[in-house]
């Protein structure tokens, strides 16, 4: 039996966090509820669209990395370890991420999270082009992205209430 064919796409893409998806749906419904005529809503929609693009790109990159790990190693263990290397730093940083988000500038945390994600993706691309990309690089970038994406997600969630006017 060929075990290579037994892994489904849903298993490869198991990184999605339900709290991020639920927060995203709630925010999307909030944006649809309010009109975009006020200055505050304009800012909110700009930030929301930026985070939409960032989240979509991050998820697509994560999926591609898992597919690449499967193609190179042919083992489901590699796929699982890429996911675990992303989730463990998220869990560890969650214990004190709220304090960091409250004490630091949220705008800078959003920018830093997006910048780190882009830089790590470019590093993977450069390593791939030069033929030096190994599975360990994917674990390392997954860990860094997991930590910074958790901070970015919390900063984004905490910033929403500051962007909407109090009368709404």
Contacts of 72 (CB under 8 A, 6+ apart): 78, 135
* Cβ–Cβ under 8 Å, residues 14 and 87: no
Contacts of 54 (CB under 8 A, 6+ apart): 114, 117, 152
Tell me the pLDDT tens digit for each residue of 67-110: 888 888 888 898 899 989 989 998 999 888 889 888 888 888 88
* Cβ–Cβ under 8 Å, residues 69 and 125: no
Q: CA 44 to CA 80: how far, in whole Å?
A: 36
Q: CA 163 to CA 39: how far, in whole Å?
A: 10
Q: CA 153 to CA 20: how far, in whole Å?
A: 7
Q: CA 111 to CA 156: how far, in whole Å?
A: 10
pTM of the full predicted structure? Answer: 0.66
Tell me the pLDDT tens digit for each residue of 117-166: 889 989 999 998 998 988 899 999 999 988 988 888 888 888 877 776 66
* Cβ–Cβ under 8 Å, residues 103 and 34: no
* Cβ–Cβ under 8 Å, residues 140 and 20: no
Confidence class for position 20, pLDDT limits 50, 70, 90:
low
pLDDT of residue 8: 39
């Amino acid at each position: 039996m060929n075990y290579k064919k037994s892994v489904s796409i849903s298993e490869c893409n198991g990184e999605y966090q339900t709290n991020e998806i639920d927060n995203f749906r709630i925010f999307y419904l909030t944006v649809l509820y309010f009109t975009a005529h006020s200055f505050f809503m304009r800012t909110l929609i700009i930030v929301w669209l930026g985070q939409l693009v960032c989240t979509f790109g991050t998820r697509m990159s994560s999926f591609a990395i898992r597919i690449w790990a499967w193609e190179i190693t042919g083992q489901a263990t590699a796929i699982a370890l890429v996911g675990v290397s992303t989730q463990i730093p998220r869990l560890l940083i969650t214990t004190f991420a709220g304090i960091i988000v409250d004490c630091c500038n949220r705008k800078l945390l959003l920018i830093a999270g997006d910048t780190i994600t882009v830089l790590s993706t470019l590093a993977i691309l450069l390593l791939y082009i030069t033929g030096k990309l190994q599975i360990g690089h994917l674990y390392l970038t997954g860990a860094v992205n997991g930590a910074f994406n958790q901070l970015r997600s919390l900063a984004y969630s905490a910033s929403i209430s500051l962007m909407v006017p109090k009368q709404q």
